[in-house]
Structure 1
Amino acid sequence: MATAEDAAAVAAIYNPYVADTCITFETEPVQAAGMAARITEVLDAGLPWLLAEHAAGAAGFAYASKWKGRCAYRFSVESTVYLHRDHTGRGIGRALYGRLLEEIRARRMHAVIGGIALPNAASVALHQRLGFRKVAHFEQVGYKQDRWVDVGYWQLLI
């Protein structure tokens, strides 16, 4: 389980995605203090934030956040997973995401929703291998790196 003290390592994994890709729609790097606040918010909500560690340091992170603020959504969460670029393609993402799903189940959640900026074949394949199915596709809802980006949503009922 991650803590606010892991914020710098989490930001170091996340910020290259902010700077170089459309995978996240954030456009400015997240400082360690801001990431610490995010981690604390998730943990204070009783949801999991996991950190995958490797001999060389943090290899990735995954967390669940509230899907929406209204009370009726309280059994639905959005899932997020990011890997350090040096640790992709080794099965770490699948193991980390699988552990996240175990934590979500233990908290008696019902629906897990993963949003994916498209195209992103690796993320789509990961979600589908874990039993998610595509339930929505929004065209051109994000604009980053001088282009419009679609977003698809995959859902898993647990």
Structure 2
Amino acid sequence: MIRSATPADAAAIATIYNHYVLNTSVTFEEQAVAPSQMAERIMQVQNDGLPWLVLEQNGELLGYAYATKWRVRSAYRFSVESTVYVKDGITAKGLGSRLYQQLLTELKALGLHLVIGGITLPNDKSVALHEKFGFEKCGHFQQVGFKFEQWRDVGYWQKLL
């Protein structure tokens, strides 16, 4: 079941996300996020009128997806950045695709025009997920982040809705 997130989901979302924070370079966050911080993030996204979705199966939260404003200037109001995370150990089972499909459907219904996905490179799985949904690479920043004692590149993919 895919549904809108609530602050009650914050602890489960933080658990999923913190695995990636502490063990991977897919996010440039370097400190674990507390459930209270995650609850604030959920509320901010929803207060901005954007979706934050969770995927639940048998009462367990297995993944989430959301969109944030791309930039604060008003001319950017029809562009968002998307994020999708699935619980470690159950990737490549189609859950991320289900979340992304629902997120894109909701973003289009909101009248948004462009979705942007930022991907720490290399990350073949994330690139494949974005391209599966018609995203096209539009930018590449070399050595823009430093995590785990290594410089990391970030590529950007975009999709017109």
Q: Same fold (TM over 0.5)?
A: yes
Q: Is residue 33 from structure 1 mapped to residue 26 from structure 2 by the alignment?
A: no
**1:86 partner SS:** coil
Counterpart of 1:19 (choices 11, 17, 22) is: 22
**Residue of structure 2 in register with 1:90 after alignment:** 93
**2:146 partner SS:** strand
Which residues of 2 match residues 64-103 of structure 1 at below 5 A?
Answer: 64-103=67-106
Instruction: Structure 2: state its 5+ residue gaps.
Output: none
Instruction: Structure 1: state its 5+ residue gaps.
Output: none
- Equivalent residues, number: 158
What is the TM-score normalised by the length of structure 2?
0.97
**2:153 partner SS:** strand
Q: Is residue 144 from structure 1 mapped to residue 147 from structure 2 by the alignment?
A: yes
How far, CA to CA, are the matches of 2:144 and 2:92 in structure 1?
29
How far, CA to CA, are the matches of 1:80 and 1:117 in structure 2?
12
Q: Is residue 107 from structure 1 mapped to residue 110 from structure 2 by the alignment?
A: yes
Q: Deviations over 1:18-42 (max 9, x none)?
A: 0000000000000000000000000
How far, CA to CA, are the matches of 2:124 and 2:91 in structure 1?
13
How far, CA to CA, are the matches of 1:9 and 1:86 in structure 2?
15
How far, CA to CA, are the matches of 2:70 and 2:78 in structure 1?
9
Runs of 4+ in 1 over 6 A off after TM superposition: none
**2:50 partner SS:** coil
How far, CA to CA, are the matches of 1:49 and 1:56 in structure 2?
18
What is the TM-score normalised by the length of structure 1?
0.98
How far, CA to CA, are the matches of 1:6 and 1:42 in structure 2?
14
**Residue of structure 2 in register with 1:153 after alignment:** 156
**Residue of structure 2 in register with 1:8 after alignment:** 11
- What percentage of aligned pairs have identical amino acids? 54
How far, CA to CA, are the matches of 2:26 and 2:57 in structure 1?
23
